[in-house]
Amino acid sequence: MSLMKYTAIELGKMIASGEISAVEAAGDCLEAIRKNEPDINAFVTVCDEQSVLKKAEEVQKKINSGELLSPIAGVPVAIKDNMCTADILTTCSSRILSNFIPPYTATAVECLESAGAVIVGKTNMDEFAMGSTTETSFYGATKNPHDKTRVPGGSSGGSAAAVAAGEVTFALGSDTGGSIRQPASHCGVVGIKPTYGTVSRYGLVAYGSSLDQIGPIAKDVSDCAAILEIISSYDTKDSTSFKRDDTDFTTALKNDVNGLKIGIPGDYFGTGLDSEVKKALLDAADVLKSRGAELEYFDLSLTEFAVPAYYIIASAEASSNLSRFDGVKYGYRTGEYENLHQMYKKTRSEGFGTEVKRRIMLGSFVLSSGYYDAYYLKALKAKNLIKQAFDKAFGKYDLIIGPVSPSTAPELGTSLDDPVKMYLGDIYTVAANLIGLPAISVPCGRDSKGLPVGMMLTGKCFDEKTVIRAAYTYEQETQI
Amino acid sequence: MKQYETVIGLEVHVELATKTKIFCGCSTRFGGEVNTHTCPVCTGMPGALPVLNKKVVEYAIAVGLATNCEINRNCRFDRKNYFYPDNPQDYQISQLYEPVCLNGHVDITVNGTGKSVGIHEIHMEEDAGKLIHEENGSMSLIDFNRSGVPLIEIVSEPDMRSAEEVISYLEKLRTTIQYLGASDCKLQEGSMRADVNLSVREEGSLVLGTRTEMKNLNSFKAISRAIDAERNRQIRIIESGKRVVQETRRWDDNKEESYSMRSKEDAQDYRYFPDPDLPGIFISQEWIDAIKADEPEFKTAKMARYAKEYGIPESDADIITDSRHMADIFEETVKLCGQPKKAANWLMVDTIRLLKENSMDPEDIRFSPENLAKLIKLNMSGTINSSVAKEVFEKMFDGDMDPESYVKEHGLAQENDEDALKATVQKVIDENPRSVEDYRNGKEKAIGFLVGQTMKAMQGKANPGIVNKILKELL
Ligand SMILES: [Zn+2]
């Protein structure tokens, strides 16, 4: 059996105890990747074997000398390809960055490296994190390990699939509108998006700057808590980073939801939600109730505004964030051009895929003079109303329980033709990004096709601990 | 013939004197090797994020307070989106919606008449990099050393009516900002840049004419010439029955004419929106108070004090206080030697002359007040005469040095001893019988020649007063 079947913490313990070495773990991981990649395509870049093994050896030395004590010392990890890694190709799954090797490493990745995690590769994603299926990647679609005719979700589909397929024990993803939680849900793994400002965005190639957060994707809640604890940092290089002294998330791994007040937004469970997903969720809610949580239905309202507000704000920010990919300084540049304007035009036409172009155009439109007030400012107003609705809900409840996605993983090739329908699939996840709330996706059973269903637990800002505690309790109660 | 009124507003960019850039830790020093003062942030690398340099806000607030602005307690940055290779992110971080300072004014005096020029706003922003074009046109290269250097843009109301008013306004701004230490404000080097918005209208009309924006103005003289030329150009257009086109024009100071850069139709939509990477800046009253408390004594106050404390005439004080650096040297020197008039004279006459000869600014003065005070004392005590003092001063101006040791090392101390001088004077009298006779025949001027000959014989080191006295005695 591959060592990648273990959780990150289990593997970390085996390495710490000397049962296996970091080099063995890395070798085993690379072997698992080699075996699975032809079917899954979870990676854009698998790091060179020699350099991975050398890195693992260095880590092992530090473990031996007692210098490295972290629970993931020596554990291999995969990083979503929108986080900069010095000397390792970082493409955002786009042609326009197909030759980009960053001169520096993202802070979150640095946190993992100082904890002794060994980077084995960069995972596939929707181009610039724009998409919910990992099909918009320049490097081809990633397949869902549970059913290879289906998508893994997105945009962190590569990270979720790599964990689910046992190619790595854990991975980093990023979540702008559900991009950690939704693929975690579709792949039957756990993913958490922390409160905005908890994990540094320095080195994360920006999509929607006010929405983006990095988070872990792993096999269970314990891993997620431990990894989140490691990558959380107050970073002076990120002005939106928040100074917190409560990031000891593993202390929340308690099997106890007694007296916890959980709200169920009735409007999340109406039309549009697949009936099998609904049933799985309500069963999961019952488990929490049986452990002493108090469940209550309420009306969150405003849900219909979340998706349009999100797509306006995210696209507006993206249209500006992606301007820098212009062929001048790095990345892809078109072969032939007669002047600067043509160079820009051809480079960007050839370098970006359809979905990215669509969102750049959408974002440029909503920011243009004459439309700014009607779209961008209105979206900000909607965001404020949604925040008020959540503030009100959190006045009554400790947590909100809901679906991650209206359905389980769709078949490959069925989503991109109808972008509006695809966007509406984000209906349950985007609010957490608009407001900055922490939210987790935990597997809660399967549908009749055997596809995983995820449950989303959303907490108050800075209250990851309650989210983790409830998710952990559910996981413990449903373990076979 | 119709009478026209010129209506002028200015957009002045000032490069702030911070050690590091506005959003990263790179040096702002001028003239480094190409692309050495750069990092992922100021070269627009994917994933890099801006972090605001607080000193930039402090300087902006200081300039705002000195120009009577309201300080926007909740200011924030916006992105100005446009594609150009010198702009690494393809957006400039600037302020549109909530600039740091608003609604100020600067008081100027032109030909004895006072006037208040309104300040619409002051905002903070980052400078761009610099394009270097290969001479054969085959390639353009980019130097990002300037990228992210902090600027403030001071936007005036269209309150000025002549080139004189514009220059007076700019001089006032420049002195104020230099006094604050917020910038050296050098037009030639581009640390102060002024774009002129100008329109003309018939005298008495209340409606503003169509304005043009003039760029590339690198000196006060160029600004004056450009204003006059643009005023005349617009009047000619109107007189010929055509319409002035709203456009941006570029001034060519060699040809003394401007040409169109882009018209309003080509104006880009910058799609401004709040920069999500930079949270709003809350400016507390305490912060404002602390900056206010640090405010230096400005030019006008200094001039009044110099007249009162030192009896320095206004016209002299005006020159000395033009530069805070010079005013500082003056005050320090006076403190050390107690000779305000002498100190003022060295600065106003000799220093200004040398600055002009070397095309330098007062900010470039290198000699220390200690050494100027010593020089004044050496001269006053009669150790050196005035012509030697001038010579020593020129050396001090070139590179600061101690005049006492210089005089000693070069044996420049003058001969004040009458007995020692008598022999030389006698020798001069003996060698110049004609001049002696002229003098005795009532030609007073002849004594000047004899003094000169004595000085020459003493290699300039004699005390001319004593030489004069001895000559008169002996003749
Ligand atoms: Zn820099």
The 10s digit of each residue's pLDDT in A341-361 is 999 999 999 999 999 999 999
Question: Per-residue pLDDT tens for A412-456?
Answer: 999 999 988 888 899 999 999 999 999 999 999 999 999 999 999
pLDDT at A328: 96
Strand B192-202 and strand B4-15: the pairing is: antiparallel
**Measured between beta carbons, which residues in chain B are less than 8 angstroms from residue A328?**
85, 88, 142
Q: Which residues contact B174 (CB under 8 A, 6 or more apart)?
A: B185, B192
Cis peptide before A155 (omega within 30 of 0): yes
Looking at CATH, the fold of the domain delimited by A3-252 is given as Amidase signature (AS) enzymes (3.90.1300)
Beta strand residue intervals within B51-187, DSSP E = 70-71, 74-75, 78-81, 91-94, 101-110, 113-126, 130-133, 140-143, 150-156
Whether chain A has a CB inside 8 Å of the CB on B297: the answer is no
Q: How far is the CA of B149 from the centre of ligand 1 (A)?
A: 9
Chain A nearest C-alpha distance from B88 (Å): 6
**Measured between beta carbons, which residues in chain A are less than 8 angstroms from residue B279?**
239-240
Inter-residue contact B95 to B78 (CB < 8 Å): yes
Q: How far is the CA of A130 from the centre of ligand 1 (A)?
A: 29
Inform me whether the pLDDT recorded for A61 exceeds 70: yes
Measure the CA–CA gap between A456 and A264, rounded to whole angstroms. 11
How many interchain CB pairs under 8 A, A with B? 100
Q: How far is the CA of B129 from the centre of ligand 1 (A)?
A: 11
Confidence class of residue A301 from pLDDT cuts 50, 70 and 90? confident
Q: What is the mean pLDDT of residues A44-60?
A: 98
Chain B nearest C-alpha distance from A323 (Å): 6
Lowest mean pLDDT segment, chosen from A8-22, A456-470, B312-326: B312-326
Numbers of helices and strands, H then E, in chain A = 15, 11
Three-state secondary structure of A364-426: HHHHCCCCHHHHHHHHHHHHHHHHHHHHHHHHHCCEEEEECCCCCCCECCCCCCCHHHHHHCC
Mutate: best of A96, A201, A237, A365, partner B, most B CBs <10 A: A237
| Ion ligand 1: residues, CB < 5 A | B 24, 26, 39, 41-42
Residue of B nearest to A97 (CA): B46
Which of A103, A238, A372 has its CB closest to that of B49? Answer: A238
Q: Could you tell me the two tokens for A264?
A: 């169920």
Whether chain B has a CB inside 8 Å of the CB on A88: the answer is no
Whether chain A has a CB inside 8 Å of the CB on B272: the answer is yes
pLDDT at A480: 58
**Domains of chain B: which residue ranges?**
4-287, 300-409, 418-474
Listed residue (A123, A127, A207) closest to A157, CA to CA:
A123
**Measured between beta carbons, which residues in chain B are less than 8 angstroms from residue A376?**
273
DSSP A423-438: HHTTTTTHHHHHHT--
Inter-residue contact B112 to B122 (CB < 8 Å): no
Q: What is the mean pLDDT of residues A324-337?
A: 97
Q: How far is the CA of B38 from the centre of ligand 1 (A)?
A: 4
Question: Per-residue pLDDT tens for A220-229?
Answer: 999 999 999 9
Average pLDDT taken over every residue of chain A: 97
pLDDT at A103: 96
Mutate: best of A80, A202, A243, A320, partner B, most B CBs <10 A: A320
CB contact under 8 A, B88 and A100: no
Active site residue A17: no
Complex prediction ipTM: 0.96
Q: Tell me yes or no: is domain B418-474 CATH 1.10.10.410.
A: yes
C-alpha separations of A186 from A285, A423, B107 in Å = 19, 16, 68
Listed residue (B175, B66, B165) closest to B122, CA to CA:
B66
Classify burial at B311, counting beta carbons within 10 Å of its beta carbon; exposed 0-12, middle 13-18, buried 19 or more: exposed
Strand A118-123 and strand A76-80: the pairing is: parallel
Whether chain A has a CB inside 8 Å of the CB on B46: the answer is yes
pTM for this one? 0.91
Mutate: best of B57, B273, B278, partner A, most A CBs <10 A: B273
Residue of A nearest to B131 (CA): A328
**What radius of gyration, in Å, describes the C-alpha atoms of chain A?**
21
**Measured between beta carbons, which residues in chain A are less than 8 angstroms from residue B46?**
84, 90, 92, 97, 100, 102, 205-206, 324-325, 330
CB contact under 8 A, A317 and B43: no
Q: What is the mean pLDDT of residues A173-199?
A: 98
Residue of A nearest to B44 (CA): A324
Whether chain B has a CB inside 8 Å of the CB on A83: the answer is yes
Active site residue A392: no
Mutate: best of A174, A235, A321, partner B, most B CBs <10 A: A321
* B-contacting residues in A 373-392 (Cβ below 8 Å): 376
**Measured between beta carbons, which residues in chain A are less than 8 angstroms from residue B90?**
323-324, 326
User: How many other CB atoms sit within 10 Å of the CB of residue B401?
Assistant: 16
Measure the CA–CA gap between A205 and A83, rounded to whole angstroms. 6
Which of B52, B142, B276 has its CB closest to that of A317? Answer: B276
User: How many other CB atoms sit within 10 Å of the CB of residue B120?
Assistant: 18
- What phi, psi does A90 have (nearest 5°)? -135, 105
Question: Which residue is catalytic, options A21, A179, A315, A415?
Answer: A179
CB contact under 8 A, B49 and A237: yes
Measure the CA–CA gap between B358 and B300, rounded to whole angstroms. 28
Active site residue A179: yes
Which of A103, A204, A368 has its CB closest to that of B40? Answer: A103
Measure the CA–CA gap between B45 and B312, rounded to whole angstroms. 57
Whether chain A has a CB inside 8 Å of the CB on B52: the answer is yes
Q: How far is the CA of B183 from the centre of ligand 1 (A)?
A: 20
Digits of tens for pLDDT over chain B (475 positions)?
A: 689 999 999 999 999 999 999 999 999 998 789 999 999 999 999 999 999 999 999 999 999 999 999 999 999 999 999 999 999 999 999 999 999 999 999 999 999 899 999 999 999 999 999 999 888 877 889 999 999 999 999 999 999 999 999 999 999 999 999 999 999 998 888 899 999 999 999 999 999 999 999 999 999 999 999 999 999 999 999 999 999 999 999 999 999 999 998 877 677 899 999 999 999 999 999 999 999 999 999 999 999 999 999 999 988 999 999 989 999 999 999 999 999 999 999 999 999 999 999 988 888 899 999 999 999 999 988 888 888 899 899 999 998 889 988 888 887 777 677 777 788 888 888 888 888 888 888 887 888 888 888 888 877 777 777 888 888 887 7
Q: Which residues contact A129 (CB under 8 A, 6 or more apart)?
A: A82, A92, A154, A155, A156, A174, A176, A179, A207, A212
Q: What is the mean pLDDT of residues A382-387?
A: 96
Whether chain A has a CB inside 8 Å of the CB on B281: the answer is no
Which of B47, B81, B83 has its CB closest to that of A202? Answer: B47
pLDDT at B221: 95
Which of B51, B81, B83 has its CB closest to that of A239? Answer: B51
Inform me whether the pLDDT recorded for A1 exceeds 70: no
Q: What is the mean pLDDT of residues A156-183?
A: 98
Mutate: best of B45, B82, B268, partner A, most A CBs <10 A: B45
Question: Which residue is catalytic, options A80, A143, A193, A219?
Answer: A80
